[in-house]
Structure 1
Amino acid sequence: MAPMYDLSTRKRALALVAQGRSLNAVSRETGISRAAIRSWQVRIEPRPRMAPPETGPPADECAYAYLLGLYLGDGCISGHPRGTGYYLRIACANSWPGLIEACEIAMRTINPTGCASRTQAQGYVSVVSYSRHWPHLFPQHGPGKKHERRIALEPWQQVIVDAHPWEFVRGLIHSDGCRITNWTTRLVAGERKRYEYPRYFFTNVSEDIRRLYTDTLDKLGVEWTHCTRHGNPYNISVARKASVALMDAHVGPKY
């Protein structure tokens, strides 16, 4: 007699398939037979399940470079429970309504369906868009946290970033960066005076994502330094006057 599985077990197996895993891989991981998983797909989906069709690089490369930066910082992709498509979600703090608007516009521009929406959560807005194409457009998608797996750009993505480096940097700063004003004191003519200067920070646990950021800054001629705190090298600082001026001209503070 075939074993019986509860609904949560079925949903978990189908969610793994929706992530692009093969039936063999899901069967090995869950202990559920391939025949059972396939039968659940047939019951849930009226038509045979097909892999999302391959799409070419996005037509609006500028919007894509910005959205890629946002995704690498605060984005995630999850499969629909029925395995019919994927949700792209990017978390945006309530404090930056302009950023939320820019994120939604970029998402609508890149999504082949042109759809996106907002969901209010505690302290942030989740900008969400549904499409079958997200894993192809963002091949960095995978199981687990980004900093626990290798993150590298596909050649076609690197071509886009090289063509629109400032949009990529802006997306990274809008997700995991900030522009702040630091201060120090100097002795001038025997009198100690306060001196303020702007600075950009980018903070991400993933070494690969930090390297994508700093490699792009290098190509743009922006000087940067590691800013290690409590032994963690997660912070990248841009503080040189000329480099801050470049960042101000092309990125600017969040809004």
Structure 2
Amino acid sequence: MNVHETEVRARALGLLRSGSKNADVARELSVPVGTIGYWKHLDRAKRGECPGRHDPKCPRCDGRGLDEPAYSYLLGLYLGDGHISHYSAHRVPNLMVTCGESWPGLLDECELAMRTVFPDNSVCQVRRTGCRNVKVYSKHLECLFPQHGPGKKHERAIVLEPWQQAIVDAHPWEFIRGLIHSDGCRITNWTTRLVAGERKRYEYPRYFFSNKSDDIRKLFTDALDSVGVEWTTLARGSDPFNISVARKASVALMDTHVGPKH
């Protein structure tokens, strides 16, 4: 860290300790709001005010209200690109979702979902090369994401609890959006056809979802079935890791409720 950054960080912490909001400090100092949030978290931890110290209430343990649409979306993100870490430097576990910096809208939606599901917990963005890790700290992460466990997700069973399935059934589009925003994409394919002796190029959009876990792909396709989206499985060699949505009516439905990453 250079001298200039040290001075900026000191000014930021002074403003934060005086009660200024993260966004206001970021705007005043021309520093990304995620960086401000991360500095604030480290400062609070250093001073013994680590997030989770006052044990914010949990929807599962304490009956606190849960924003179900936001949770359904965050669950999709977690199953795709998220994991729970018990890094020893922090007193509290964190849920981390990795998002590409080329999709700032996705970063904002992920952070908003975390803040909505965990309104009393610390959320921050940590910049890495070409991406950012969006994090939320809570002692109750495994209460809300019981799919956490040792090893990679595709090497163990991923089954939703009945209460989770009820939320997904009630808010399937949010769940689908979360999965597409993590391990999916919207692309434009093209082909050529001979029409009246002239070869013409035709373009058509389609959605892809790719995941090695048979269970997660099944959760995705079950949600698609529930909203009337037709899909097919595309295999690379003998590996059926790709789900494709290409029929015009189904793509139109996906465009209405999901849309491309941005």
Q: TM-score, normalised by structure 1?
A: 0.77
Give secondary structure in 2 for the equivalent of 1:192.
strand
> Within the alignment, does 1:119 sit opposite 2:126 as a pair?
yes
- Displacement, 1:56? 3.9
Structure 2 CA distance, aligned partners of 1:57 and 1:232?
42
Residue in structure 1 matched with residue 143 of structure 2 by the alignment:
136
1:164-211 Cα deviation digits (max 9, x unpaired)? 100000000000000000000112122111010000000001010000
Residue in structure 2 matched with residue 181 of structure 1 by the alignment:
188
1:79-137 Cα deviation digits (max 9, x unpaired)? 25278431100000111000000000100111152420000111110001100110000
Q: Please tell me whether the aligned partners of residues 55 and 136 of structure 1 are also in contact (alpha carbons under 8 angstroms).
A: no
Structure 2 CA distance, aligned partners of 1:198 and 1:56?
43
Match runs of 1:125-204 below 5 Å: 125-204=132-211
Provide structure 1 residue ranges, at least 5 long, that are not aligned to the other structure: 1-49
Match of 2:69 among 62, 69, 79: 62
Structure 2 CA distance, aligned partners of 1:63 and 1:121?
25
Match of 1:71 among 75, 78, 97: 78
Distance 1:198 1:57, change over 3 A: farther
Q: Please tell me whether the aligned partners of residues 63 and 110 of structure 1 are also in contact (alpha carbons under 8 angstroms).
A: yes
Structure 1 CA distance, aligned partners of 2:108 and 2:64?
23
Distance 1:111 1:155, change over 3 A: same
Structure 1 CA distance, aligned partners of 2:194 and 2:217?
36
Q: Please tell me whether the aligned partners of residues 185 and 194 of structure 1 are also in contact (alpha carbons under 8 angstroms).
A: yes
Structure 1 CA distance, aligned partners of 2:210 and 2:64?
28
Structure 2 CA distance, aligned partners of 1:133 and 1:234?
32
1:208-244 Cα deviation digits (max 9, x unpaired)? 0000000010111100000111321100000000000
Distance 1:116 1:83, change over 3 A: closer
Provide structure 2 residue ranges, at least 5 long, that are not aligned to the other structure: 1-54
Identity score, percent: 65
Residue in structure 1 matched with residue 104 of structure 2 by the alignment:
97
Match of 1:211 among 191, 215, 218: 218
Match runs of 1:20-39 below 5 Å: none
1:135-186 Cα deviation digits (max 9, x unpaired)? 0000001111100110011000011001110000000000000000000011
Residue in structure 1 matched with residue 249 of structure 2 by the alignment:
242
Structure 2 CA distance, aligned partners of 1:207 and 1:186?
36
Q: Please tell me whether the aligned partners of residues 121 and 137 of structure 2 are also in contact (alpha carbons under 8 angstroms).
A: no
Q: TM-score, normalised by structure 2?
A: 0.75
Give secondary structure in 1 for the equivalent of 2:94.
strand
Count of aligned pairs? 205
CA RMSD of aligned residues (A): 1.8
Distance 1:185 1:81, change over 3 A: same
Deviates more, 1:107-116 or 1:52-61: 52-61
Q: Please tell me whether the aligned partners of residues 121 and 138 of structure 2 are also in contact (alpha carbons under 8 angstroms).
A: no
Structure 2 CA distance, aligned partners of 1:83 and 1:124?
22
Structure 1 CA distance, aligned partners of 2:112 and 2:213?
27
Q: Please tell me whether the aligned partners of residues 99 and 106 of structure 2 are also in contact (alpha carbons under 8 angstroms).
A: yes
Residue in structure 2 matched with residue 21 of structure 1 by the alignment:
none
